[in-house]
Amino acid sequence: MPPRDWDAATYERLAAPLTAMGTDVLDRLVLRGDETVLDAGCGTGNVTRVLLERLPRGRVIAVDAAPSMVEQARDLLPAAVDVRQADLLELELEAPVDAVLAAQAALDARRQNPEGREGGPPVGALTYQPVVDGTVLPEPPLDAIRAGSAAGVSLVAGSTRDEWNLFHLRLRVAGPLDETRLRRRLAALVPEARVGDLVDAYRSRRAGADPDDVVCAAMTDRVFRIPAIRLAAAQAPHAPRVSMYRFDYASQMLGACHGIDVPFAFDNLDRRGVEILLGELDQSSHRLAGRTAGAWLAAAGTGSPELDDLAWPAYDPDGERLTAILDREVGVEADPEAALRALWDELTPAPAPGAVVD
């Protein structure tokens, strides 16, 4: 049976989070620089390229079963890389290799082995996610929304302020990042020549930020905040109302991390276990929970999250971009961190509508 192909072009447009996680796995592979390494499941070659930089005297064999992935990897990688189309179960190598990089398998293994080599919990590993295959998912969701697939549906979109703090926890447990690893990680997201611009932009807005802080802030924007903004912009022409928020309520340990908003949306701060994440609660915590849950209910019923005691204007991507800031004291900001949003639009523009897979 011929291998099922993937839409390599669409994969490449959506590959940034996977590349970042693959680089995370690669950081745990200790190399001298002269080994022969098999990249098992190389995809379009983004992580393979990072691997190659760490083998100045070595050799890389990159294998993937999907013809379009292999074609794109060959275009991306230098001729020195041995790129092969093959099923890993049927792969025959002429000689043993020193190491095998299987980023996706490593992420799966960390889910099965919570302790892991670094002793941290396996948080943030997105092992499986939707793939545009032309049948079940015929086109990238943002393309469909731009074209009006959700016309007439109001939208509330946003993120927490420090989403990536949770996913970065296992690396903090293993020890702090240095400047070299910081820049290597960001080079998986933006053109290498612009990494310095990205680092400077975040440090100029976060006094005293160390490399871990910069990575978390950049990944929060790249994976969560910027896609939410682009979703809002795509839906705005078709919806009765679009509303944006940023959830800023912070825990002492992880800041306003991924998931911290969930108990507020359900107004169940008193449930057992919530205090592990949130820490000590006070009257302002419960007031925010009541407002957040009320806003979610109002949005479900009317399309608008605005309440009598919660100002929440509509979001206009061509206007002021008014965004609700949900914290102990709620407020509204026009285009929060506008300069960073503009920089991401410059470095990683929103994908243009792509072709549907045959």
- Same domain for 206 and 266, yes or no, is yes
Q: Is residue 353 part of a domain?
A: no
- Same domain for 99 and 219, yes or no, is no
Last residue of a domain, one of 112, 133, 166: 112
Write down the pLDDT at residue 298.
97
The answer, yes or no, to whether residue 118 has pLDDT greater than 60, is: no
Q: pLDDT tens digits, residue range 121-132?
A: 333 345 556 778
- Same domain for 187 and 253, yes or no, is yes
272: domain CATH number? 3.40.50.1820
- Same domain for 159 and 291, yes or no, is yes
Q: Is residue 52 part of a domain?
A: yes
- Same domain for 107 and 194, yes or no, is no
Q: Give the separation between CA 182 and CA 171, rounded to whole angstroms.
A: 12
Q: Is residue 357 part of a domain?
A: no
The answer, yes or no, to whether residue 241 has pLDDT greater than 70, is: yes
Q: Which two tokens stand for residue 316?
A: 């206009």
Q: pLDDT tens digits, residue range 274-333?
A: 887 888 899 999 999 999 999 999 999 999 999 999 999 999 999 999 999 999 999 999
Q: Is residue 117 part of a domain?
A: no
pLDDT tier for residue 144 given thresholds of 50, 70 and 90: very high
- Same domain for 54 and 177, yes or no, is no
- Same domain for 320 and 187, yes or no, is yes
108: domain CATH number? 3.40.50.150
- Same domain for 204 and 281, yes or no, is yes
Q: Is residue 28 part of a domain?
A: yes
Q: How many domains does the chain have?
A: 2
Q: Is residue 356 part of a domain?
A: no
Domain that holds residue 62: 8-112
Q: Is residue 120 part of a domain?
A: no
- Same domain for 234 and 107, yes or no, is no
